[in-house]
Structure 1
Amino acid sequence: MITIHHLNKSRSTRVIWLLEELNMPYNIVNHERDSQTGLAPESLKKIHPLAKAPIIVDNDVTLCESGAIMEYILNQASNDTLRPKIDSAQYYQYLEWLHFAEGSLSLPIICSLLMSMETRDGNKPLDGYIAKELQLDFSYIDDTLSQRTYFADGAFSAADIMMTIILDIADNLSLLENRTHIKAYLVNMKQRPAYQKAASFG
């Protein structure tokens, strides 16, 4: 059985959500952020040298990084319904968005989050870069969602799980103003029972 090392207020919610969608059994070990600094606790370092969530342990396999974990779980699933067939037109749409979430989108969003946590006096050198990247990324996403319900075109997939969690962070930072298609997408995703179960873990 897969063990999820879950950090509160983190992207490890993705892993719980995926396992819930697949009806796969799992154990959760909860780790709490430091109440003063908001940083991950030392307990995560005992599981993986990077001390970042999510981390899963499955027998002799210990994995960090959301995308790698999603692929590992899908490879273990008896009913792999959350990843298009590799010979389908949707497969590479799925693959692009699965990696886009952490590869392109997370950097400017997390930078915005970190900057919101500090006292700032005037513009900083990275502000223009971050604003440009957010505009580019959100325009691409909003346009895509104006044409389809899910990122892998016709069906919900693990790419939607990857994208929803980082887009929700953006929404909580008020970065999605006037992004009507993204906003509607998030409402739709949050109605899924598996999402609601995962979100209940905090």
Structure 2
Amino acid sequence: MLTETNQISKITLYWLDKSRSQHILWLLEELKLDVHPLGKSPVIDIQAADAAKPLIIAESVTILEYLVEHFGKWLVPKRQEWLRYRYYMHYAEGSFMALMLIALLTHTIRSAPVWFFLKPITTGIASTLGTMYTAPNLKTHLSFLEDQLATAPNGGGFFCGNELTGADILMIFPLEAAVQRVPSFEKSYPKVYLSPTKRPVKRFSEASGEKYIPVSDVAMGL
């Protein structure tokens, strides 16, 4: 396996615009690792100069944990912040992402091309699901996150304390997905809205000529 002492010839990120792979893109920038974007998401291959075959890694959490362990140990907090870090590593791709996927399903049902006489039915299903489940649960999650940022150790600023961690990076996609679904988000949840997950990814754009497009740039309803 590669370690931080190995010489790396290339890291390739297979990604899609407005996809979860964008938090891996952010992580690669934080680690100052050169990256060549290509293909589907999120998968990376790491080609060491002394290795015959590249190491292939899939799944967001696995990718993040591997890269942080080998190239960015400063992104893993110590002491009491560590428990928050482990929690958010699972929360981002678990409870929170599951809710965002249901919201996406609701939007897909509402906007699906169906016969005109079926449209009231599909719209009704989507509206009921949004009103009865997605909207109230999203409010609960965002209120929780607002409180977590307000009570984070050492004065906060990040989800696990006063320094960036891998968990903050993993939270970027579900948070961007949430922003587009809540009216007046910045007023209702100012700490979440101004959280460090809004850092722009500039180095990638400059190196590749590709534009980083936040998922929140595309408006969707509940």
Report the TM range for the smaller structure's normalisation: 0.7 to 0.9
**Pairs within 5 Å for 1:1-202:** 1-29=10-38, 31=39, 44=40, 53-59=41-47, 60-77=54-71, 79-85=72-78, 88-119=79-110, 120-123=122-125, 126-127=129-130, 128-147=132-151, 148-174=156-182, 177=185, 178-185=188-195, 188-190=196-198, 192=199, 195-197=201-203, 200-202=211-213
Q: Structure 1 residue 104: deviation in Å?
A: 0.7
Q: Which 5+ residue runs of structure 2 have no aligned equivalent?
A: 1-9, 48-53, 111-121, 206-210, 214-222
**Structure 2: how far apart are the matches of 1:99 and 1:118?**
28
Structure 2 distance, partners of 1:56, 1:2, is: 7
Matching residue's letter, 1:58: I
Distance in 1 (alpha carbons) for counterparts of 2:124 and 2:170: 33
Provide the rounded CA distance (Å) in 2 between the counterparts of 1:70 and 1:89: 21
**Partner SS state of residue 117, structure 1:** helix
SS of alignment partner, residue 3 of structure 1:
strand
Between structures 1 and 2, the one with greater helix share: 2
User: How many residues matched?
Assistant: 174
- In structure 1, list runs of 5 or more residues that go unmatched: 32-43, 45-52
- What RMSD over aligned residues (CA atoms) do the two structures have, in Å? 2.3
Whole-angstrom distance in 1 between the partners of 2:203 and 2:176 = 16
Q: What is the DSSP-based 3-state SS (H/G/I as helix, E as strand, rest coil) of the residue aligned with 1:90?
A: helix
Q: Cα–Cα, structure 1 residues 189 and 130, in superposed 2: closer, same or farther, change >3 Å? A: closer
SS in structure 2 at match of 1:7? coil
1:95 deviates by 1.1
Q: Hey, what's the Cα distance between the residues in 2 that align with 1:61 and 1:25?
A: 16
Per the normalisation by structure 2, the TM-score is 0.69
Cα shift readout 1:64-123 (whole Å, capped 9, x = no counterpart): 21111100111220x5221113xx211111111122111110111122123223333224
Amino acid at match of 1:55: V
Secondary structure of 1:62's counterpart equals strand
- Superposed displacement of residue 139, structure 1: 1.6
Residues 93 and 149 of structure 1: CA distance in aligned 2, closer, same or farther (over 3 Å): same
Q: Alignment identity in percent?
A: 28
| Aligned AA (1:159) | A
- Per the TM alignment, residue 196 of structure 1 is displaced from its structure 2 partner at its CA by 3.9
Query: In structure 2, how many angstroms separate the alpha carbons of the residues matched to 1:9 and 1:101?
Result: 16
